[in-house]
Amino acid sequence: MTASSGTMPDVRIRGVVKRFGRFEAVAGIDLDVERGQFVTLLGPSGCGKTTTLRMIGGFEQPDVGEILVAGEPVSQDETGRHTRMVFQSYALFPHMTVARNVAFGLRMDGVARSEIAARVETMLASLGLADQAAKYPRQLSGGQQQRVALARALVTRPRVLLLDEPLGALDLKMRKRMQGELKALQRDVGITFIYVTHDQEEAMNLSDVIVVMEKGRIAQVGTPEEIYRRPVSAYVADFVGETNLLPGRVVAAGAGGLRVATRIGELSVPGAGGPAGGALTVAVRPEAIMIGPSLDGQARGRGIVQSRSFLGALTRVVIGIDGTTLTADRPGLLAVQPGDAVEFGWRDEDALALPADKSLPGEMQ
């Protein structure tokens, strides 16, 4: 292949569609993954994450479109030429020791015995598995088995590692620990990682780039910060972190932004927006909402505290305003009680104008 690998992304997906019967599991996606990036496919169950990953790995063929890995079309006769996959279920060989599991791919590749031993030893050591080499998978904890699965994939030095919810079977504490290890490992080996999860916090924590998927399509691609701060739709805003979504209508649009009529009153929102009368959705993150007996002119309105939960690092307060609710997260302990009348507000720049979303309850007519 003559494509210069210097400019070609590690993975290029162009116009890919995958159908199962008449159902489009992947409904036309384009994506470039650059060398050495940690890219996460994020989305709810059934949105096409695994199907996409399996096509990159060559386990499935697209019905339409093309996938290139390292500049070469992925073909089923050469599954795994540039990629390795790590599964949620680990898929270790139960009758092989840890060392033999990790050596397996190298033996298949015909690597010399002496080199296999050295590479396996180094890989096990770098994943903290040096003492486990002679054990069988069933003698290991879930976290250790996951590490063996990673070692087995990484030892063959693939160009791209594909990981399908690899931490899904672990408890929360182990998952957090493995997230840190995965990130450090990826930085060390410099291999491109394409990671699948439906856990937005995990995606934020690990990724250089997040690809938010919705029903077989890509809803948004961006850094964790871009996705969180500038979601392009109510769907993305709602899936990535908590958010308050208020259906509204443009009352006036000017240089200073938009005036938007919502169920909690008229709001100023930055943005150019559409013509007066146009429908849109206003999004405000809970942590942007201030609460006080008096907000010194920054108040947007008044409401009644419906509930208050102390969550340790923050207090979550749900405020009821004429049948609508707003959720606010304040740092530390906030001494309000259900039934209290409070003022709420936020800085202008903390409100986002997003396209109208028909799936929202209370869409304004």
Ligand X SMILES: Nc1ncnc2c1ncn2[C@@H]1O[C@H](COP(=O)(O)OP(=O)(O)OP(=O)(O)O)[C@@H](O)[C@H]1O
Residues found near Mg ion in the complex (CB under 5 A): 50
Amino acid at 296: D
Q: Does 46 bind ligand X (CB under 6 A)?
A: yes
Distance from chain centroid for Cα 40: 5
Q: Which of 324, 328, 318 is nearest to 350 (CA)?
A: 328
Q: Are 61 and 76 in contact (CB under 8 A)?
A: yes
Q: Does 25 bind ligand X (CB under 6 A)?
A: yes
Q: Of the candidates 40, 50, 233, 315, which one interacts with ligand X according to CB under 6 A?
A: 50
Which of ligand X, Mg ion, none sits in contact with 206, Cβ below 5 to 8 A by type?
none
Minimum Å distance from CB 146 to Mg ion? 17
Minimum Å distance from CB 165 to ligand X? 7
Which of Mg ion, ligand X, none sits in contact with 198, Cβ below 5 to 8 A by type?
ligand X
Q: Of the candidates 11, 13, 49, 116, which one interacts with ligand X according to CB under 6 A?
A: 49
Q: Does 40 bind ligand X (CB under 6 A)?
A: no
Q: Of the candidates 47, 85, 163, 167, which one interacts with ligand X according to CB under 6 A?
A: 47
Site string for ligand X, 187-216 (x = CB under 6 A): -----------x------------------
Geometric angle at alpha carbon 299, from 229 and 227, rounded to 5°:
5
Minimum Å distance from CB 40 to Mg ion? 13
Report how far residue 86's alpha carbon sits from residue 146's, in angstroms, rounded to the nearest whole number.
9
Contacts of 162 (CB under 8 A, 6+ apart): 53, 56, 57, 83, 84, 85, 86, 194
Contacts of 296 (CB under 8 A, 6+ apart): none
Contacts of 176 (CB under 8 A, 6+ apart): none
Tally of residues, the chain: 365
Q: Does 20 bind ligand X (CB under 6 A)?
A: yes
Stretch that binds ligand X, among 49-57, 65-73, 142-150, 293-301 (CB under 6 A): 49-57
Q: Which residues bind to ligand X, rule: CB under 6 A? A: 20, 25, 43, 45-51, 198
